[in-house]
Amino acid sequence: MTGKNLIAAAQTGTGKTASFVLPLLEKFSDMPPIRAKRIRALILVPTRELAVQVDANITQYSKHLSLTSLAMYGGVDYKDQKQRLIDGVDILVATPGRLLDMYTQRALHFDELEVLVLDEADRMLDMGFIEDINKILERLPKERQNLLFSATLSDQVRVLAKTAVERPVEISVSPDSATTPQIDQWLITVDKDKKSALLSHMIKENEWKQALIFIQTKHGAAKLVSQLEKRGIAAEAIHGGRSQAVREKLLNDFKSGELGLLVATGIAARGIDIDDLTRVINYDLPDQADDYVHRIGRTGRAGATGEAISFVSRDDFRHLCAIETRLGHLIVRKEIEGFVPQKEVPASILNYVPETKIAARRKNFKNKQNGQDKPTSHAIPKGRR
């Protein structure tokens, strides 16, 4: 660790956590015990599940060191967390809301902070944490090292980076190299109302013992689990509507192999980190192409092979084209006997532009040709002049 600020675009499964945890451990290994209510490094994460996972990695890597770490998040009693902070913690992994709560209660001070890590920055922004993050940044010492990690470097992430990270070194792990070599990606075209039956058929026909199944809504997750159970298939749903305790138990059961099939909404699945996950199923395609890359990156990790299967109906066509454009190639299509769609899914088009956008572009072009793109002047009402 040279002390430089860093912005890194890296997908799940690229060794991202180790890339910042190991240098932190080396940096702090010879330092004296931390003072009360102080921390040396702060790792901000979007979810409780990710906080637990990162802290588990720190514990694993530092088992021969006398350094301390703590995962701090909401949804649980704060007393134990508060006492740990009062004792002092070398590396704190925290969600933004709970961190601000503890700071307000004067359970910790930031005056000895040396390193700030923003992990999965894009997810924190998606979940509406920008105000909390800015409040935290205002309270941190100006002299610190800043590391920002994100699956994508969107405009929003770059705006955050300008605030948090001065004169950074920027690196990127190509999404393609991070996911596609070890992941067999393919899709099945199917009518929307046949997806549940198709999933049941594929599970039984192929004797799938393990799969992470992505779906868009918590209502859809609960409904799908009910449909699977009626067909004799055991599964569980994890989504934002379930309690923290239930979500944690389901994640642990899935990681241990006790639970084989987990239906998850995108946000709820962010803490899932399994080295040998064999299969990801996109029951629903995500709205954003980057989310597809992030989803399938949960399989085929650390050189292992994995499988990513998407169920695609005609209604999914626009999202499919966006995903394939993002990947830079078409995804192999298959049809399953007995589930050939009645509503045919059109042939994929790389760099597809929806008709609505084409119409808007034509309108803008005509306006410019007619000189209608000039600013419109408005009369100032009487009494305001």
pTM of the model: 0.64
Residue 331 in tokens = 């995804």
Residue stretches of the chain with pLDDT short of 70: 1-2, 11-14, 173-181, 267-273, 275, 302-303, 351-385
**DSSP string for 345-379:** PPPP-TT---HHHHHHHHHHHHHHHTTTTSPPP-P
Q: CA 183, 293, 338, 194 torsion: positive or negative? A: positive
CA distance 215 to 111: 43
Domains of the chain: 6-173 (3.40.50.300), 177-334 (3.40.50.300)
Beta bridge partners of residue 43, listed in sequence order: 93, 117
Residue 31 in tokens = 């330092």
pLDDT at position 309 is 96
Say what angle helices 130-139 and 155-164 make with each other, to 10 degrees.
10
pLDDT at position 14 is 59
Residue 36 in tokens = 């009360």
225, amino acid identity: V
Cβ neighbours around 192 below 10 Å, total: 15
pLDDT at position 164 is 85
Residue 189 parent element (H or E): strand 183-189
